[in-house]
């Protein structure tokens, strides 16, 4: 990211970017802290202490097993972030090369194949495929990653291909070809750096979608398994208790919203920054 | 009586001064030429008159159209003035029309905005107007969509919209720049005709002095938002006082120092009967594949130390030939031979590549924006078999930078820090680094302002002499070819229709197409000669 | 045109064939089978085998695939393993919930989003635009099932305006039916409306910077009129894609919302059938959803051609 | 603003308008159930949901369960047993008609029993009929059933939903259109939503008091809560969210029925797997579990602790919970003795019901306290059946065994706990052959003790039968000796 920012002024970053960054930073910080410390142990239950409303001892109250909701959220956020991040990684790892090769071989059979493959995956309702995958492999964080990751592949393939195509039509690519550089070298040396900003923006969007997807999967019980807390499962657990302990439903949901909102705002801010044409203040 | 009078017009956008104290006026039946290079503020002048300015603009001064100060007119009233009293013609005919509406709808819309008239009648009068601008209903029914028309035809539609309710003032902002010369000539004729017939005041904005010289009655030369020269058109003939305008005139009338090099009679490049077809790759069930024959059986050769021009209008197949010679696209028959080695797209050896370089048209798109100049210029060194140390690389690049007229320390900078002309110098430096035998200059100076264009052409001439280079100089502009090539090839629809000694072709073209090309290119020299 | 149409139909067909293979194979490798599920923990091994035979599960995989595909081609989707009733009937009944819900949600989101998006684009850069965009960001960030829970909590448990779930059915009148679909439709529509409003806005802003918008102004149209007569129609093209995608998303994506509100729709059917290993139902429903996605894309493409004369001629 | 007020008003009025007829004497009842039956043939699937709707309402057997779990005559008004205990002669009620108007007679009984025990039957409880060697029609209302050996459970077996009498004529469409002899006639099934029954006006016995009964399927606990609160349903059988019962108890519109059912909830243990093949480890497991915490945490206090696999409301029940008191220190000691001072790692595979999922989390936490590291994986039923039940690929699992009187499963060494005790198998063999009630009781007590001594499984609790009922509804069963919602005697009190 740094080389992208090199020639630009950070003060051009929009207000929404900073708001988003603060949200994301806050959530990430909580998640990182939870590796070392949480206010309470999330694996030990104290049934007699259940359904406590927010108080000094438990900032966000306790759940139906008497666990501290703040601690649960901290660790749950960590799970969400990990799942979504790796899923985005999968998408980039497979999608980017596919898209780059398709763009380099534009108009060929391979290109067509990649595009048809994309269409095929897009034709499946995402959640249902995720359910199928977890039904085949069994529920769990790892399989949730695969299920979400698979849908990221065509997304990145499409973005990379589209962005790379505009680069391929530019004359500097011809100049590189005239300098004897091959497709792969050109893709690495010229294409990737020039489409990186689009990829970063897409990655933040997919990241936020991944968090939502992870929440949805664990809400239906297909995400990380207990005793690992996850925000989606906390919501699922709270559902029958919403009339007795609404705080159990409100806080985990709020955290999902903050995380996703933060990432989206950041992504938007970055997009405006990279592509001033879209900036609001212009014309 | 002046139709329009602009008094001390100042414009700033976001606190930045764009226009400084402009004053000028125009009479009915008169063509006022505003000329200036990019960034001179000429387009903003036009936009100020119709008050369609970007967010954050502030204007002071007076713009008086028929006793009404437009700057004090409400937006509501401006809506009734735009289109009715002021017609506007934009530069980009390709995008100036709404793609989803027929040309008839778009022309009739102007009428319907300003006159109470039903749709049917409006469409009928639109048809008449389209006929008047040279789009007769028989050939161009008003149910056509813009995409069904060529650039020149679209520009006629834009003109039709501008003159639809016979406004007294028409502002044309670079109306012919994006068009081929033959089309441009016809459009200029049309505009002149309309000015006379409707007694219009036409403000013609352009960067091209030769266009202005051919049609304008009065002229304003702008630079950095200021008027540097003004007067009757005949001031172009020895009446210019300002240095800048003198230079501009000189550059527009560019003649290179006479080419002073000995052309070898040995063949460097031989293009032998090549063809290239494009077809859409998609699988079809019915009918044959649509095949577009971009290049049909083209043959020519270039000798050592020879500059050859290749001229043709857009879409004639020039770029296809460039790509074929560079080995980027396969050809379907024929051979391309460089110093005895055949260039095949599937496998171009490093050895061949080293002899062949290229400079492209677009000074912005020709460089990877994320690399510094050192890396950009030294990229072709990839073709050198032997390792070149970074130190050596740096020295070569520094030397080249100075050779093309830039500062040696510029190697650290990134491409966005340079102007268009400087970029083109960098592109030339890049093409020289391997000391190639042949450089293809694909519209290499077309995107540059005239004054800079002259400098680059000078540089190219000088380099070709000192390095013993051969050029294949590709251009749509005959006048450019004339000055730096000794032989010229004229191309039309994928074929070479005429070729021969540059002077001979200019003096006595034999093919009808060449004749029309020469006739329609605006010729500053002859225009000036006509002036009194 | 005919050829274009024909080619699109062929791609559509191949997509469906591949989809059917993927669906069949993945469902084959899911552990568990419907026979043992139905017979429970006291069943004897021979009973399970007998039931498998009765259900036709003893046939080779490839043969079963062919039977399934052949059946679909003639409109016979087979008989549910657990319910023993024709799949097509079950799906048909569920469609009467899912389809109205999807349309309801789509209408809601379109009716809200398009004006909001246009409004924001017309006022871009102003505080109003800024706050609208802020709201849409929040709308996108809210997980719809959580939003659904909050709706239930507020409107069903606290205010008791709506029932918390279930579907009243259409027999007792359209109003009652719509009433039970209202909360789910709102929950579904919120993120969709947010996305749509954003797309509408940015698409319109793109169009506003086009040269022809300036032409329109130069003709004497006011900003508002130029926006309406030249901007919106051009800006609608990308919006159309999103609406198309949303429709298929709403059909399938309602799965969680249907669970929250306990609506007997396709999503619930699929969930339940996977749990019961009623493979033939799962296969057919997924196939139907894939088909609807492909079909909607197809329709959107055709709609493009109708809206955009450039495309109309390029495929002639 | 006014517009919204109007809408608000309309929305308020709609339910009032529709509930006007509630003031008249109500003869229709809506019963909420969590699970929808897959189809409507009680003799063709294990799903308890089928019996929940149809048992005794639509279909009847020769004998039937009474609300207290005792066996009473059904379609057979009486029976004779031969002295060797192998031949039963059933005397059928006369004038019994199927809902399609045809007569029910001895041939139907023969058909039903022969169908259930046939080679290629798909009856989920085929074992119930395993001992039958012959079914003979003596006359139109007399049937003789011959067993290979005496079976003390035989009349009990015939009371199961899987043994109901069906007609040969209607068998083909039974899954969609069940035709029985009961007090209610199947009327309509809106799949995914509800099943409607209506009163059988030509019922052979005491006619139903309700004209119409609707079973509405609401699987989601919070939706169930809301539906009940909104009085969309009048009765919720087996209410799925015990956490919400407090609110119903506090509300005079409702009453909460807390009864017993046959669900022994146990921590099933793979007895053949290391280290659970070690008695000490199993004993350590038993002492590591705090039943009260589980009942409180998973069932919100509703449930009875058990110390063996037997229903506490059964007369022969022995309270053996003292043998496996919560004692983590003892548990750790036992683990050390067994050679696991640092504990070990095992799997806990949980089926979908809340008692298993929530109980599992609690047990995992309790076992962690004594050093046993538990990896939880949540499975769907189909997966659970494949992996755990049939594949025996598990260390621990939690499941509720809902079949009535099912201690006999411990005598099956191939059963998924893989408990193989010759002593226990002998006791069950004797019990099956024994018809003397006193002897039977003593054998049952003995059986309970053996499995408790062997700590075969962790015995957690007997599930409570929790139903929420509109306080004006009279006659709902409190207990659930079998999965049934007997509506034949239910009525509205005005």
Residue-wise pLDDT for D37-73, tens only, equals: 888 888 887 777 888 899 989 999 999 988 888 889 9
Does residue A1 sit at the B interface (CB-CB below 8 Å)? Answer: no
Please check the confidence at residue B95 and state whether its pLDDT lies above 70.
yes
Whether residue A160 contacts residue A96, with contact meaning beta carbons closer than 8 Å, is answered with yes
pLDDT-based confidence at residue C23 (cuts at 50, 70, 90):
confident
The pLDDT value recorded for residue A12 is 64
The pLDDT value recorded for residue B90 is 84
CA atoms within 13 A on the CB side of D172: 1
Give the CA dihedral D16, D20, D23, D26, nearest 10 degrees.
Answer: -110
Q: Three-state SS for D114?
A: helix
Whether residue D33 contacts residue D52, with contact meaning beta carbons closer than 8 Å, is answered with yes
Domains of chain B: residue spans and CATH: 4-252 (3.40.50.300), 267-503 (3.40.50.300)
- C222 vs chain B: nearest CA distance in angstroms? 6
Please check the confidence at residue B288 and state whether its pLDDT lies above 60.
no
Does residue A176 sit at the B interface (CB-CB below 8 Å)? Answer: yes
The pLDDT value recorded for residue B259 is 65
Chosen from C3, C123, C220 to mutate, greatest number of chain B CBs within 10 A: C220
Let me know the angle formed at the C-alpha of D480 by D474 and D481, rounded to the nearest 5 degrees.
130
Q: Contact C212/B98, CB-based, under 8 Å?
A: yes
pLDDT-based confidence at residue A4 (cuts at 50, 70, 90):
very low
Q: Contact A7/B382, CB-based, under 8 Å?
A: no
Whether residue D386 contacts residue C39, with contact meaning beta carbons closer than 8 Å, is answered with no
Does residue C170 sit at the D interface (CB-CB below 8 Å)? Answer: no
Average pLDDT across chain D, whole number: 87
Please check the confidence at residue D301 and state whether its pLDDT lies above 60.
yes
Q: Contact B79/C233, CB-based, under 8 Å?
A: no
The pLDDT value recorded for residue D166 is 92
Most confident region among B255-264, C141-150, D220-229 by mean pLDDT: C141-150
Provide the 10 A C-beta neighbour count for residue B14.
11
Q: Contact C214/B96, CB-based, under 8 Å?
A: yes
Q: Which of C210, C221, C307 sits opposite B113 (nearest CB)?
A: C221
Which residue is it, tokens 């005429």? B498
Q: What is the mean pLDDT of residues B480-499?
A: 87
The pLDDT value recorded for residue B100 is 86
Contacts of C11 in chain A (CB under 8 A): 116
- B222 vs chain C: nearest CA distance in angstroms? 24
Contacts of B76 in chain C (CB under 8 A): 222
Q: Which of C218, C220, C310 sits opposite B99 (nearest CB)?
A: C310
* Burial grade of B1 (CB within 10 A; 0-12, 13-18, 19 or more): exposed
Q: What is the mean pLDDT of residues D320-336?
A: 92
pLDDT-based confidence at residue B289 (cuts at 50, 70, 90):
low
Contacts of C268 in chain D (CB under 8 A): 192
* Spatial CB neighbours of A36, under 8 Å, sequence gap ≥ 6: none
Residue-wise pLDDT for D15-40, tens only, equals: 444 444 444 568 899 999 988 888 88
Contacts of C262 in chain D (CB under 8 A): 218-220, 223
The pLDDT value recorded for residue A273 is 79
Does residue D376 sit at the A interface (CB-CB below 8 Å)? Answer: yes
CA-CA distance, D455 to D325, in Å (whole number)? 12
Does residue B326 sit at the A interface (CB-CB below 8 Å)? Answer: yes
CA-CA distance, B439 to B353, in Å (whole number)? 11
Chosen from A111, A172, A177, A185 to mutate, greatest number of chain B CBs within 10 A: A172
Q: Contact D378/A225, CB-based, under 8 Å?
A: yes
Q: B230, B316, B313, B222: which is closest to B25 by C-alpha?
A: B230
Chosen from B282, B283, B346, B370 to mutate, greatest number of chain A CBs within 10 A: B370
CA-CA distance, B89 to B203, in Å (whole number)? 10
Contacting partners of chain B (3+ CB pairs under 8 A) = A, C
Does residue A215 sit at the C interface (CB-CB below 8 Å)? Answer: yes
Question: What separation, in Å, do the N-terminal and C-terminal C-alpha atoms of chain A show?
Answer: 28
Domain range A14-51+60-278, its CATH number among 3.90.1150.10, 1.10.3720.10, 3.40.50.300, 3.90.180.10: 1.10.3720.10
Structure tokens at D485: 């919602």
Cα C50 off chain centre by = 39
ipTM above 0.90, yes or no: no
Helix crossing, A141-168 with A126-137: angle to 10°?
A: 130
DSSP state string for C242-257: HHHHHHHHHHHHHHHH
- Whether D and B touch (3+ CB pairs < 8 Å), yes or no: no
Does an H or E element contain A19, and which? helix A15-36
The pLDDT value recorded for residue A9 is 58
CA-CA distance, D141 to D180, in Å (whole number)? 17
Contacts of C3 in chain B (CB under 8 A): 284-287
Does an H or E element contain D139, and which? strand D132-139
Q: Which of B52, B79, B100 sits opposite C234 (nearest CB)?
A: B100
Contacts of C36 in chain D (CB under 8 A): 382, 385-386, 389-390
Does residue C98 sit at the D interface (CB-CB below 8 Å)? Answer: no
Position with higher pLDDT, D441 vs C172: D441
Q: Contact C137/A120, CB-based, under 8 Å?
A: no
pLDDT-based confidence at residue A263 (cuts at 50, 70, 90):
very high
Q: Contact A240/D241, CB-based, under 8 Å?
A: yes
Chosen from A136, A139, A226, A244 to mutate, greatest number of chain D CBs within 10 A: A226
Please check the confidence at residue C283 and state whether its pLDDT lies above 90.
no
The pLDDT value recorded for residue D425 is 94
- A277 vs chain D: nearest CA distance in angstroms? 42
Does residue C233 sit at the B interface (CB-CB below 8 Å)? Answer: yes
- D209 vs chain C: nearest CA distance in angstroms? 26
The pLDDT value recorded for residue D3 is 46
pLDDT-based confidence at residue C185 (cuts at 50, 70, 90):
very high
Phi-psi region of B134 (alpha: psi -120 to 50; beta: other; left: phi over 0): left
Please check the confidence at residue A129 and state whether its pLDDT lies above 80.
no
Q: Contact C211/B92, CB-based, under 8 Å?
A: yes
Chosen from C32, C35, C41 to mutate, greatest number of chain D CBs within 10 A: C41
Q: Contact A179/B414, CB-based, under 8 Å?
A: no
Q: Contact B84/C229, CB-based, under 8 Å?
A: no
pLDDT-based confidence at residue A282 (cuts at 50, 70, 90):
very low
Q: Which of C161, C163, C278 sits opposite D232 (nearest CB)?
A: C163
Does an H or E element contain D63, and which? strand D63-65
Q: Three-state SS for B318?
A: helix
Percentage of chain C exceeding pLDDT 90: 13
The pLDDT value recorded for residue D183 is 93
Does residue D232 sit at the C interface (CB-CB below 8 Å)? Answer: yes
- B97 vs chain C: nearest CA distance in angstroms? 5
Does residue C14 sit at the B interface (CB-CB below 8 Å)? Answer: no
CA-CA distance, D382 to D38, in Å (whole number)? 14
Whether residue A32 contacts residue D354, with contact meaning beta carbons closer than 8 Å, is answered with no
Q: B138, B117, B116, B118: which is closest to B127 by C-alpha?
A: B138
Contacting partners of chain C (3+ CB pairs under 8 A) = A, B, D
What are the angstrom distances between the C-alpha of B441 and each of A175, B308, B460, B475? Answer: 12, 10, 10, 8
Residue-wise pLDDT for C35-86, tens only, equals: 887 777 777 777 888 888 888 888 888 888 888 888 888 888 888 887 778 8
Q: What is the mean pLDDT of residues D134-160?
A: 90
Can you give the pTM of this predicted structure? Answer: 0.83
Name D142's bridge partners: D91, D139
Whether residue B274 contacts residue B494, with contact meaning beta carbons closer than 8 Å, is answered with no
Chosen from C29, C40, C282 to mutate, greatest number of chain D CBs within 10 A: C40
- C141 vs chain A: nearest CA distance in angstroms? 5
pLDDT-based confidence at residue C19 (cuts at 50, 70, 90):
confident
* Burial grade of C172 (CB within 10 A; 0-12, 13-18, 19 or more): exposed
Please check the confidence at residue D75 and state whether its pLDDT lies above 80.
yes
Whether residue B263 contacts residue B303, with contact meaning beta carbons closer than 8 Å, is answered with yes
DSSP state string for B418-478: S-HHHHHHHHHHHHHTT--SEEEEESTTTTS-HHHHHHHHHHHHHHHHHHT-EEEEEES-H
pLDDT-based confidence at residue C252 (cuts at 50, 70, 90):
low
Does residue D361 sit at the A interface (CB-CB below 8 Å)? Answer: yes
- D330 vs chain A: nearest CA distance in angstroms? 20
Contacts of D365 in chain A (CB under 8 A): 43-45, 227
Please check the confidence at residue C239 and state whether its pLDDT lies above 90.
no
Does residue A280 sit at the B interface (CB-CB below 8 Å)? Answer: no
């Amino acid at each position: 990211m740094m080389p992208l920012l090199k020639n630009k002024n950070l003060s051009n970053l929009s207000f929404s970017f900073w708001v988003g960054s603060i949200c994301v930073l806050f959530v990430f910080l909580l998640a990182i802290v939870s590796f070392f410390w949480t206010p309470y142990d999330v694996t030990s239950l104290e049934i007699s202490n259940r359904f406590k409303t927010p108080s000094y001892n438990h900032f966000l109250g306790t759940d139906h097993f008497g666990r501290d909701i703040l601690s649960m959220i901290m660790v749950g956020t960590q799970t969400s972030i990990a799942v979504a991040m790796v899923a985005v990684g999968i998408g980039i790892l497979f999608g980017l090369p596919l898209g780059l090769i398709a763009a380099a071989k534009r108009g060929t059979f391979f290109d067509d194949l990649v595009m048809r493959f994309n269409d095929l995956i897009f034709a499946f309702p995402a959640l249902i495929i995720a359910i199928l995958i977890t039904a085949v492999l069994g529920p769990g964080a790892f399989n949730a990653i695969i299920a979400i990751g698979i849908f990221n592949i065509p997304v990145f393939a499409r973005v990379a291909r589209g962005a790379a195509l505009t680069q391929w039509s530019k004359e500097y690519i011809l100049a590189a070809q005239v300098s004897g550089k091959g497709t792969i070298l050109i893709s690495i040396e010229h294409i990737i750096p020039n489409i990186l900003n689009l990829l970063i923006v897409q990655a933040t969007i997919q990241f936020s979608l991944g968090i939502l997807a992870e929440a949805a999967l664990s809400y239906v019980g297909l995400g990380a398994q207990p005793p690992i807390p996850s925000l989606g499962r906390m919501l699922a657990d709270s559902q029958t208790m919403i009339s007795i302990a609404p705080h159990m439903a409100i806080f985990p949901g709020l955290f999902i919203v903050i995380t996703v909102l933060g990432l989206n705002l950041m992504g938007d801010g970055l997009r405006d920054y990279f592509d001033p044409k879209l900036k609001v203040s212009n014309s | 009586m002046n139709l329009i009078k602009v008094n001390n017009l100042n414009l700033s956008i976001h606190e930045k001064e764009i226009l400084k104290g402009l004053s000028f006026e125009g009479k009915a039946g008169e063509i006022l030429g505003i000329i200036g290079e990019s960034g001179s503020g000429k387009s903003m002048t036009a936009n100020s008159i119709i008050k369609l300015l970007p967010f954050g603009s502030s204007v002071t001064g007076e713009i008086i159209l028929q006793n009404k100060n437009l700057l004090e007119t409400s937006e509501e009233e401006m809506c009734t003035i735009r289109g009715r009293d002021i017609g506007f013609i934009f530069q980009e005919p390709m995008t100036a029309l709404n793609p989803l509406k027929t040309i008839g709808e778009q022309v009739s819309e102007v009428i319907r905005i300003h006159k109470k008239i039903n749709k049917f009648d409006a469409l009928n009068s639109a048809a008449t107007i389209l006929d008047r601008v040279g789009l007769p209903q028989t050939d161009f029914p008003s149910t056509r969509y813009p995409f069904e028309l060529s650039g020149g035809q679209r520009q006629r539609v834009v003109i039709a919209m501008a003159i639809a309710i016979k406004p007294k003032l028409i502002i044309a902002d670079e109306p012919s720049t994006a068009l081929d010369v033959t089309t441009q000539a016809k459009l200029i004729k049309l505009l002149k005709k309309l000015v006379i017939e409707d007694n219009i005041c036409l403000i013609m904005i352009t960067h091209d002095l030769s266009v202005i010289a051919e049609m304008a009655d009065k002229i304003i030369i702008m630079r950095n938002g200021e008027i540097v020269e003004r007067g009757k058109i005949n001031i172009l003939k020895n009446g210019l006082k300002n240095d800048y305008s003198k230079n501009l005139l000189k550059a527009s009338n560019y003649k290179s120092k006479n080419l002073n090099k000995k052309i070898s009679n040995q063949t460097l490049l031989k293009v032998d009967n090549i063809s290239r077809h494009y077809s859409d790759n998609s699988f079809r069930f019915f009918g044959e594949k649509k095949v577009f024959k971009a290049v049909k059986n083209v043959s020519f050769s270039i000798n050592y130390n020879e500059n050859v021009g290749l001229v043709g209008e857009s879409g004639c197949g020039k770029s296809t030939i460039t790509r074929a010679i560079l080995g980027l696209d396969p050809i379907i028959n024929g051979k391309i031979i460089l110093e005895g080695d055949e260039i095949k797209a599937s496998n171009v050896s490093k050895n061949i590549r080293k002899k062949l370089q290229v400079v492209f048209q677009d000074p912005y798109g020709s460089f990877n924006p994320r690399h510094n100049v050192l890396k950009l210029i030294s990229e072709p060194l990839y073709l050198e078999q032997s390792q070149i140390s970074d130190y050596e690389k740096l020295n070569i690049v520094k030397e080249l930078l100075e050779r093309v007229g830039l500062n040696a320390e510029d190697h650290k900078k990134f491409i966005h820090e340079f102007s268009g002309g400087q970029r083109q110098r960098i592109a030339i430096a890049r093409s020289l680094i391997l000391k190639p035998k042949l450089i293809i200059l694909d519209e290499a100076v077309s995107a540059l302002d005239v004054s800079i264009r002259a400098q680059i052409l000078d540089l190219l001439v000088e380099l070709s002499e000192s390095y013993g280079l051969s050029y294949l100089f590709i251009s749509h502009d005959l006048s450019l070819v004339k000055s730096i090539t000794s032989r010229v090839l004229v191309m039309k629809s994928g074929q070479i229709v005429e070729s021969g000694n540059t002077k001979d072709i200019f003096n006595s073209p034999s093919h009808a197409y060449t004749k029309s090309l020469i006739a329609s290119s605006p010729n500053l020299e002859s225009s000036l000669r006509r002036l009194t | 045109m005919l050829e274009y149409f024909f080619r699109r139909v062929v791609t559509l067909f191949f997509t469906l064939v591949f989809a059917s293979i993927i669906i069949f194979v993945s469902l084959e490798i899911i552990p568990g089978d419907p026979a043992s599920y139905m017979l429970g923990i006291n069943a004897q091994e021979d009973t399970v085998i007998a039931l498998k035979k009765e259900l036709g599960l003893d046939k080779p995989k490839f043969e079963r695939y062919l039977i399934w595909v052949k059946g679909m081609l003639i409109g016979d989707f087979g008989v549910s393993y657990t319910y023993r009733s024709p799949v097509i009937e079950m799906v048909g009944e569920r469609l009467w919930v899912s389809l109205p819900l999807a349309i309801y949600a789509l209408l809601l989101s379109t009716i809200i989003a398009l004006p909001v998006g246009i409004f924001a684009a017309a006022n871009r850069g102003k505080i109003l635009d800024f706050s609208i965009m802020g709201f849409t960001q929040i709308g996108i960030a809210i997980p719809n099932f959580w939003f659904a829970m909050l709706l239930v909590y507020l409107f069903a448990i606290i205010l008791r305006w709506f029932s918390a779930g279930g579907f009243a059915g259409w027999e007792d009148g359209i109003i009652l039916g719509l009433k039970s679909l209202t909360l789910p439709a709102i929950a579904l529509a919120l993120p969709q409306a947010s996305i749509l409003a954003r797309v509408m806005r940015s698409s319109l802003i793109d169009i506003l910077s086009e040269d022809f918008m300036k032409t329109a102004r130069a003709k004497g149209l006011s900003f508002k009129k130029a926006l309406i007569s030249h901007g919106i129609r051009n800006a609608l093209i990308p919006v159309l894609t999103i609406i198309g995608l949303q429709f298929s998303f709403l059909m399938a994506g309602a799965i969680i919302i249907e669970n929250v509100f306990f609506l007997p729709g396709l999503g619930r059917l699929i969930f339940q059938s996977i749990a019961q290993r009623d493979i033939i139902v799962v296969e057919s429903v997924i196939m139907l959803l894939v088909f609807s996605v492909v079909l909607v894309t197809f329709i959107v493409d055709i709609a493009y051609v109708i809206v955009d004369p450039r495309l109309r001629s390029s495929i002639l | 603003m006014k517009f919204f007020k109007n809408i608000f008003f309309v929305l308020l009025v709609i339910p009032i308008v529709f509930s006007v007829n509630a003031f008249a004497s109500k003869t229709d009842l809506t019963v909420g159930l969590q699970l929808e039956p897959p189809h409507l043939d009680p003799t063709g699937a294990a799903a308890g949901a089928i019996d929940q709707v149809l048992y005794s309402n639509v279909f009847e057997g020769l004998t039937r369960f009474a609300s207290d779990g005792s066996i009473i005559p059904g379609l057979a008004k009486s029976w004779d047993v031969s002295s060797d205990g192998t031949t039963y002669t059933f005397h059928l009620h006369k004038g019994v008609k199927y809902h399609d108007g045809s007569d029910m007679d001895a041939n139907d009984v023969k058909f039903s029993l022969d169908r259930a025990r046939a080679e290629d039957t798909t009856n989920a409880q085929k074992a119930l009929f395993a001992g039958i060697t012959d079914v003979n029609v003596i006359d139109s209302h007399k049937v003789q059933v011959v067993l290979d050996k005496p079976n003390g459970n035989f009349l009990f077996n015939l009371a199961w939903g899987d043994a109901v009498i069906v007609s040969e004529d209607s068998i083909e469409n039974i899954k969609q259109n069940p035709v029985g002899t009961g007090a209610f006639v199947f009327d309509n099934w809106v799949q995914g939503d509800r099943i409607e029954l209506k009163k059988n006006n030509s019922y052979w016995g005491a006619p139903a008091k309700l004209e119409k009964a609707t079973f509405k399927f609401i699987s989601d606990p919070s939706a169930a809560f809301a539906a009940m609160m909104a009085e969309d349903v009048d009765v919720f059988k087996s209410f799925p969210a015990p956490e919400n019962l407090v609110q119903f108890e506090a509300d005079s519109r409702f009453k909460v029925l807390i009864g017993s059912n046959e669900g022994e909830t146990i921590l099933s243990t793979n007895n053949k797997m290391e280290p659970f093949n070690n008695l000490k480890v199993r004993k350590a497991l038993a002492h590591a579990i705090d039943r009260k915490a589980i009942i409180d945490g998973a069932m919100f206090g509703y449930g009875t602790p058990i110390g063996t696999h037997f229903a506490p409301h059964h007369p022969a029940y022995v309270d053996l919970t003292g043998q496996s008191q919560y004692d983590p220190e003892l548990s750790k000691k036992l683990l050390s003795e067994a050679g696991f001072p640092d504990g070990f790692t095992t799997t806990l595979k949980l089926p979908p019901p809340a008692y298993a999922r929530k109980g599992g989390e609690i047990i995992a936490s309790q076992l962690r306290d004594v050093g046993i590291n538990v990896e939880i994986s949540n499975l769907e039923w189909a997966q659970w059946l494949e992996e755990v039940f049939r594949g025996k690929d598990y260390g621990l699992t939690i499941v509720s065994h809902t079949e009535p009187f099912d201690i006999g499963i411990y005598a099956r060494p191939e059963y998924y706990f893989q408990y193989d005790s010759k002593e226990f198998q002998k006791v069950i063999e004797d019990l099956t052959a024994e018809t003397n009630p006193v002897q039977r009781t003593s054998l049952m007590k003995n059986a309970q003790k053996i499995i408790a001594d062997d700590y075969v499984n962790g015995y957690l609790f007997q599930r409570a039968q929790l139903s929420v009922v509109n306080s004006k509804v009279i006659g709902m069963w409190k207990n659930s000796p079998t999965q049934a919602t007997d509506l034949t005697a239910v009525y509205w009190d005005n």
